[in-house]
Chains A and B, each alone.
Chain A
């Protein structure tokens, strides 16, 4: 792995995205729009303050999962992946390049969504606002890594889009957004302990409801980070220089 090649790869991916302004606008505006919609629906109720923070973690996760899985699938199908792996490019450079490029996009997206939620929609945050942004970015990175991994198991774009409900929906349902996890049936609670999004949701609600929970939040983030790292290692294993 070399920093130069990782940066070159990240730069190439960002240039590709830059040539597609509509995607950039969608990426930056859609999460904020949806957060605004939820705030509006639950106007005059305490619901937005309860689910709003979780939404800020959910959107980067979903969007980055989709964007990465489709981009890497295209890379596999167009032959550029095979070409790159036949050149002096490390697998780490490729994955690192994706993480860097989409991490940057996730950061921009999180900044827009958090600013909108807090300052326009009036989301009440007891803890540090920047922590919300950090959790959102880490979620975006988790989505990127899972997207890289998912693309290895999809033969085409239709399949990769189907992976989204498969990977995302159970995590949303079991993550504690609809019902606190400790009120769920024991089996489901046990399963939710093994889903990374549960820890993100926990971190986000801690930031918004408590003023001095930074330590616990970072611990949650560590767990999400470990999941992302695990997905990264598995994704690296799916990149083979030689086909059988």
Chain B
């Protein structure tokens, strides 16, 4: 029986890019309707895992099912919203024009453009050319595109990087509202401080999942006081076990 309470299920996932094996046969579970944080140092395989889930990366071995269907399947293309790490937007279009083009591609309602602009707080620059925006504004345009069409699964690669604390707070409140309305969010970050805002955490290191727990569960299990510390303890434990 298909378990619909899992938005993403990966089993024995191996990804090889060229000669380098990036993910070494990992199992991933992302429960529906939750915010799952994907944490780990840069180069640990977070982006590769996300690109695999959205169907942009060829799978070497193993299986990835997204919303009950194989990752990358045609019917998933409008059900999954993806924001890549560097803003994938057109510099020579205005914010509105960017959103409107992607809205047409998604066949989302026209009203989505205004809704998304308001959600990511770009109302004041909606008619400005993207090339003239700040880094944080550009990344919010990219986030806005991922929100078009109200996807059931949002895969966001470092959506809050380079944003000031007030904006970060606002975006996390938005993520919470989206989860409350039934969407599932997989959000990567290397800021451990954001861990406590998630429902569940996946810790990735060197292409392996080293922890899969709730934020408080992780602290209890490691006896750490914050998530930075918890992560360090897990790594130390791993290294010990390997030795």
Contacts and interface: CB of A to CB of B under 8 A. Distances in A.
Contacts of B107: 88
Contact of B56 (A4, A85, A89): A85
B88 A78 contact: yes
B89 A78 contact: yes
Contacts of B72: 241-242
A162 interface: no
Interface in A57-84: 78-80, 82-84
Interface stretch (B76-84, B118-126, B176-184, B197-205): B76-84
Interface string A2-15: 00110011011001
B86 interface: yes
A16 B97 CA distance: 9
Contacts, number: 78
Contact of B84 (A4, A16, A83, A243): A83
What is the interface residue range for chain B against chain A? 20 to 34
Contact of A88 (B87, B89, B105): B105
A88 B77 contact: yes
Residues of B contacting A: mostly:
loop
A8 B105 contact: yes
Interface in B132-151: 145
Given A16-B92, A19-B93, A87-B106, A243 B101 contact: no
B55 A242 contact: yes
Interface of B: 17-18, 51, 54-58, 72, 74, 77-78, 80, 82, 84, 86-93, 97, 101-102, 104-107, 129, 145
Interface of A: 4-5, 8-9, 11-12, 15-16, 19-20, 78-80, 82-89, 241-244
